[in-house]
Amino acid sequence: MTEQEQKIEQGFMSAVEAYRSNPSCDNAANLRTALKEYLLAQQSRGTPIAAIGPFLGCMDSIAQLHDHDIGISGKFLMWSLRQMLKSNRPGWNDYWMMRWMCTHDPIALMKIHDRCAPHLTTPWPSVVETARWMVSSYRQQDKVFDHQMARVERDCELCRGNT
């Protein structure tokens, strides 16, 4: 990753944190701008597909409160990209993680748990493996996430017998 790409990613993550702290119209606009720069950087690296999950997670988080600012073309873009994400692909892991990062929404946390829990018997091992890696990595980086995920695991009846 180049220095410029690192700067763009740091700016994007700062915008996510600012929006989570205060989901105002101004912060939503700043987050959309940072997201656009992030997507362009991903595209220049040849990895635009990898950015679909985080993009949709971020845009859906913004749309919860600022749907009026997204417009028809933005909604159509989100719908089109959503069609590209298949349930058996890891992109939804990124989607739910970004939703949690933007909002700390407990539903997003439950969806993340549902994709990586030890009791899963899914026919999609790549989804589970990448979700478990993502959760393990992010737990080390974010103590709030670690604490909340531990609570979800304690509350899950199926996890109690597997941890």
Q: What stretches of 22-163 show up as alpha helix (H) in DSSP? A: 25-44, 52-66, 71-84, 91-103, 106-116, 125-141, 143-155, 157-160
Question: Residues, the chain, total?
Answer: 163
- pLDDT band per the 50, 70, 90 thresholds, residue 46: confident
Asked whether the predicted pLDDT for residue 154 surpasses 60, the reply is yes
Q: Is 161 exposed, middle or buried (0-12, 13-18, 19+ CB in 10 A)?
A: exposed
Q: What is the DSSP string of 76-117?
A: HHHHHHHHH--TTSTHHHHHHHHHHHHH--HHHHHHHHHHH-
Reported as a single tens digit per residue, the pLDDT across 103-144 is 999 999 999 998 888 777 777 788 888 999 999 999 999 999
Of the listed ranges 16-30, 38-52, 57-71, 108-122, the one predicted with least confidence: 38-52
Which token pair is 109? Answer: 């946390």
Q: Is the dihedral of CA 100, 104, 108, 114 positive or negative?
A: positive
d(CA 79, CA 59): 11
